[in-house]
Amino acid sequence: MSPPGAGDAAHFDVLVIGSGPAGQKAAVQAVKAGRRVALVEQEPGVGGMCVHRGTIPSKTLRESALQLSRLRSSAALLDFALKPGLEVASLMARLDEVVAAHVAYMGRQMSRNGIQLYHGRARFLSDRLVEVLSVDGSTRRLTAETIFIATGSRPRSPAEIPIDHENILDSDSILSMLYLPESLTILGGGVIACEYASIFAHLGVRVTMIDRADRPLKFMDAELVEKLVRDFERTGGRFLGERNIGSVEWDGVSKVVTRLATGETIESDKMLVALGRAAAVDGLDLAAAGLRANARGLLEVDAHCRTAIPHIYAIGDVIGPPSLAATAMEQGRRAACHALGLPPGSAAEMIPIGIYTIPEMASVGLSEDDAAKRFRGTPVIVGRGRFDEVARGQISGVQDGLLKIVGDPTGTKLLGVHIVGEGATELIHLGQMALLAGTGIVAGIALPAALIFSRRPPSPYVGRAADLLDVLAIMALIPLACAVIGIFGAIRGLFASIGG
């Protein structure tokens, strides 16, 4: 039966609001299950913040920073620096092309699957009725049995920090900076703060990162983060932890002045405010659907991403951390499976985290601290493979990295895999496969790593579980080393051809 006020509304089985990674995956999953699906997007292009302002633009800039740092490390005798006053856009030359290709691909995927796309801003009229306002002012009503809210997030803007998007910027405006600054202060210690801190530091910007916590990325394994911070400081960056902000102001001439509660003052050309994100639900009229955001500005859901209204799900950034694209996709897929009564497949906690700092970080399963908490008092077993212990890593010049395997106290069950270093986000899937298979450490990591890539048998090490884990960790690095050598070869070739 149509909900009250539906009038001539178009009816669908599933309605998705927002075309970012979360919404897109939910829509595709539902349509593949034979449902009639509508997707509403307010922007002209599909893909969400991920494509237009988040992941893809920042990764394009990161690629330039990476190439520069590789060039520096493979040409240590050449003391060079970027031209002063370099335009940021020139470091992201291929961005428009990449975004356009991605938007076109996703548009094709939607139409090929028969997903009905509506352009406009959605708002709830009731828990089953949504109005879509188009740019030309016309409105359309849609009803659905199941609704997915996938409207993403926006930067949190504390009232006391005067963000002007010119000198004091947020993650939506940072890449609109015209010129590369000489110095940058970053407030925050989350994923976005760390990614930009390491990218700009590798581009030669003097970066100061300030956070309330004693270390950034509190949800990641502490040993990995320590390595990241060391690398950041080696490139000239500064991390100031356990600091509270007193005030921030633009001096009206050339500097952003940050005063800390400790009395310290930091001056920089620009500032990035990356103090978390809030759900983008303004204008959705959640109250009409019987919903509201919590005190942190996020939508609350159960383990299946269901809100307090059972046929309305919320997925992706709108429900809060980890606020990553891959997680958003998996939430979309799993929530759609739940809504349609389909088995979701793999366990949610086996979704790897990939963070594109320089160096990259990746993680799946329990960290050492979490594992220690789970086994209260009984020491868990940890193995470490350092990149500089793999000959191929040394040959290719990629020596700065660590792969860490966490096992249960008996050393037979794999609990987590954590990596910092180049290629971490590729290698993590080996750990994910092992965890998903639910097998012991040897079967999970040693077989793919040892049989395929290594000639070094673990047998002499079987006596001690920690030693065994060390060996397995090192072996697991070998596919990475192969991949990295390939990438390096390609980059050297590229620079050689540019130079020629």
Q: 384 near 473, Cβ under 8 Å? A: yes
Contacts of residue 496, defined as CB under 8 A and 6 or more positions apart, other chains included, come to none
Report the 10 Å Cβ neighbour count for 333: 23
Q: Residue from 98, 326, 342, 350 that binds ligand FAD (CB under 6 A)?
A: 326
Q: Give burial (CB, 10 Å; 0-12/13-18/19+) of 14.
A: buried
Which residue has 């740019």 as its token pair?
135
Segment 163 to 182, residues that bind ligand FAD, using CB under 6 A: 171
Residues β-bridged to residue 265: 259
Compute the residue count for the chain. 500
Segment 327 to 346, residues that bind ligand FAD, using CB under 6 A: 328
Q: Check binding of 387 to ligand FAD (CB under 6 A).
A: no
Report the candidate in 66, 98, 80 with the shortest Cα–Cα distance to residue 494.
Answer: 66
Q: Residue from 64, 258, 268, 323 that binds ligand FAD (CB under 6 A)?
A: 323
Part in contact with ligand FAD (CB under 6 A); list of ranges 86-94, 148-156, 158-166, 239-247: 148-156
Which residue has 């789970």 as its token pair?
374
Question: Does residue 448 have a cis bond before it (omega within 30 degrees)?
Answer: no
Report the 10 Å Cβ neighbour count for 261: 10
Q: Check binding of 204 to ligand FAD (CB under 6 A).
A: no
Residue 102 or 413: the one with the smaller Cβ distance to ligand FAD is 102
Q: Give burial (CB, 10 Å; 0-12/13-18/19+) of 460.
A: exposed
Distance of CA 54 to the CA centre of its chain: 9
H or E segment to which residue 318 belongs: none
Q: 30 near 13, Cβ under 8 Å? A: yes
Q: Check binding of 134 to ligand FAD (CB under 6 A).
A: no
Binding mask 92-121 for ligand FAD (x = CB under 6 A): -----------------------------x
Q: Check binding of 185 to ligand FAD (CB under 6 A).
A: no
Segment 254 to 293, residues that bind ligand FAD, using CB under 6 A: 280, 283-284
Q: Check binding of 49 to ligand FAD (CB under 6 A).
A: yes
Q: How far is the CB of 341 from ligand FAD (least distance, A)?
A: 23
Binding mask 216-255 for ligand FAD (x = CB under 6 A): ----------------------------------------
Q: Check binding of 22 to ligand FAD (CB under 6 A).
A: yes
Q: Residue from 30, 54, 198, 337 that binds ligand FAD (CB under 6 A)?
A: 54
Q: Give burial (CB, 10 Å; 0-12/13-18/19+) of 328.
A: buried
Q: Residue from 29, 55, 185, 454 that binds ligand FAD (CB under 6 A)?
A: 55
Q: Check binding of 382 to ligand FAD (CB under 6 A).
A: no
Q: 24 near 315, Cβ under 8 Å? A: no
Q: How far is the CB of 259 from ligand FAD (least distance, A)?
A: 26
Q: What is the CA radius of gyration of the chain?
A: 24
Residue 355 or 445: the one with the smaller Cβ distance to ligand FAD is 355
Contacts of residue 103, defined as CB under 8 A and 6 or more positions apart, other chains included, come to 45, 46, 47, 51
Segment 297 to 316, residues that bind ligand FAD, using CB under 6 A: 316
Segment 29 to 48, residues that bind ligand FAD, using CB under 6 A: 40-43, 48
Q: Check binding of 189 to ligand FAD (CB under 6 A).
A: no
Part in contact with ligand FAD (CB under 6 A); list of ranges 69-77, 149-157, 251-259, 439-447: 149-157
CA separation, residue 302 to residues 50, 55, 65, 297, 338 (Å)? 24, 27, 40, 17, 12
Residue 137 or 252: the one with the smaller Cβ distance to ligand FAD is 137
Q: Angle at CA 305, nearest 5°, toward 18 and 427?
A: 85
Q: Residue from 20, 189, 365, 458 that binds ligand FAD (CB under 6 A)?
A: 20
Report the 10 Å Cβ neighbour count for 310: 12
Q: Check binding of 356 to ligand FAD (CB under 6 A).
A: yes
Q: Residue from 19, 69, 146, 432 that binds ligand FAD (CB under 6 A)?
A: 19
Q: Check binding of 360 to ligand FAD (CB under 6 A).
A: no
| Phi–psi pair at 420, nearest 5 degrees | -130, 135
Binding mask 396-435 for ligand FAD (x = CB under 6 A): ----------------------------------------
Q: Residue from 65, 192, 220, 478 that binds ligand FAD (CB under 6 A)?
A: 192
Report the candidate in 139, 151, 135, 128 with the shortest Cα–Cα distance to residue 48.
Answer: 151
Which residue has 């990629």 as its token pair?
398
Q: Residue from 14, 23, 163, 194 that binds ligand FAD (CB under 6 A)?
A: 23
Residues that bind ligand FAD (CB under 6 A): 17-23, 40-43, 48-50, 54-55, 58, 121-122, 150-152, 171, 192, 195, 280, 283-284, 316-318, 323-326, 328, 356
